[in-house]
Structure 1
């Protein structure tokens, strides 16, 4: 039985480039009906150049938020996101750099406050993965890079943002299905995502008295530049086929979940994780 879900493809450059993907990911659904749920809000979104981060930025803008777009160095992809935000009638502030760098995090907040004067939503979404067949193949350099990008960056950026957040603010962390099911070739990545989940739960308890909510989203297989840049052609060609729905998710499938967690619709939810994974039952 043919389990192909995508054309075979691979990118040698990491992080990947969305403009090289076939087909391009869908980052917004025309069936979505905005309702002004984030009017007057300012959101910081990491990894906003493409994939889930782009979808979040666009959905937020359609709901009325101005968006601070953080990304590493994928300028062409980021420009497309910026155009989409501005076509939605909102303002975008593009800031390139490494959010694992504490100095960059402080600069992000400085520029955000200078332009918008407030921060209402933080989406910690940026991350990286490097498949290895055996634990012995994971070098110290890879281990440190993965933890630095995927969890230490969240600590540093959140630490920089928090003094400027008021009651009613929302923090949303992107964890992963791998935090709950594991993955035999993404051992270090899965470990960081487990840390993200625990960070989300503990921080939610810490900030509850301040009226700041902290939740997470745990995607399953989603078609983003991370996939062709980290897996071989054969793996990409059947990506997402093992889900109950039999396909990979699109970034557009996830955007509304982030809107829900960012707006007042989820005012009684904190310390929780939404599982958008194509139908896998996760008990955790």
Structure 2
């Protein structure tokens, strides 16, 4: 991995998170190239990480073993049109972190080139604790799959899916899911304030509790259900709260929300692919 040259087309927050993770895990800065439309955008990245930067996408791809497409989905078609010829000549692995754009759509925009991996990372990647789903076309070699895994593992964990549609499930349970946890934390804050607790104290307790619960699950092979049961003493306070959740359809509500997210991800993919 460290001998490979990686070119990031787009230098936004997700690209920077991955670059920072790669640097922190020992990838040589001189083997990382980032592009953007202006030097003003690139200057901070160059200063912070010592990587190569350029406003010329074709020049960056001409040196690359792996090309990370990290521009917004709305401009991806234009970017692909600019680099189709150099991609065909260089034949790098294409790794896309653009939400909603299928491999078939990207391949079409790249003139039929199909050595493509789609990645669905989430925002905790920005602090090195991301969760990312990966899907590869049949044209991607085992070595290239390993490259993709190593690259995205720089900012968290990775899980491969064998059907591209399951990336919409990844979106629903990981890509969008940080907001679900934030929403629960927000609701707990409001409940604590309603009972008279200062916001600052409630927030500190809730954040630490969320962190602790996640670490307990991460440190054990036991299912979340088992941890839930251990906190639920018979006729106790936790049991009363959990029963209240259950009586008001909590699990069905979560299932419906995940399905709604999945459906929207599929709709966006179809809409973008029709361009």
Give your verdict on TM over 0.5.
no
Q: What's the TM-score once normalised by structure 1's chain length?
A: 0.42
Larger radius of gyration: 2
Q: Relative contact order: is structure 1 or structure 2 higher (C-alpha 8 Å, sep ≥ 6)? A: 1
Q: What's the TM-score once normalised by structure 2's chain length?
A: 0.43
Which of the pair is proportionally richer in helix?
A: 2
